[in-house]
Structure 1
């Protein structure tokens, strides 16, 4: 009984993690996290 509950909790956590990783796209911040834009343009930040 308790083992089944722990297995379901682990399974649902894993599925939630995979959904978040592959399907849930979070918008990127325009600050430090987006270095590709700063590298392509000459913004004078270096």
Structure 2
């Protein structure tokens, strides 16, 4: 039973880390794309 709990805990941790990496590190690409199409002068 403890093996199942360890697998679930590590998979949850991996999903959370993947979400945070995607949220913080790939945000710049989206903002640059939006800024270019918006012609806001930046």
Range of TM-score over shorter length: 0.5 to 0.7
Structure 2: stretches of 5+ with no match in the other structure: none
What stretches of structure 1 move > 3 A for 4+ residues in a row? 25-29
Residue equivalent to 1:21? 23
Structure number having the greater helix percentage: 2
- What is the TM-score when the length of structure 2 is the normalising length? 0.59
How many residues get paired? Answer: 33
Map of 1:6 onto structure 2: 8
Q: Tell me how far apart the structure 2 counterparts of residues 5 and 24 of structure 1 sit (CA, whole Å).
A: 28
Normalised TM-score (structure 1)? 0.55
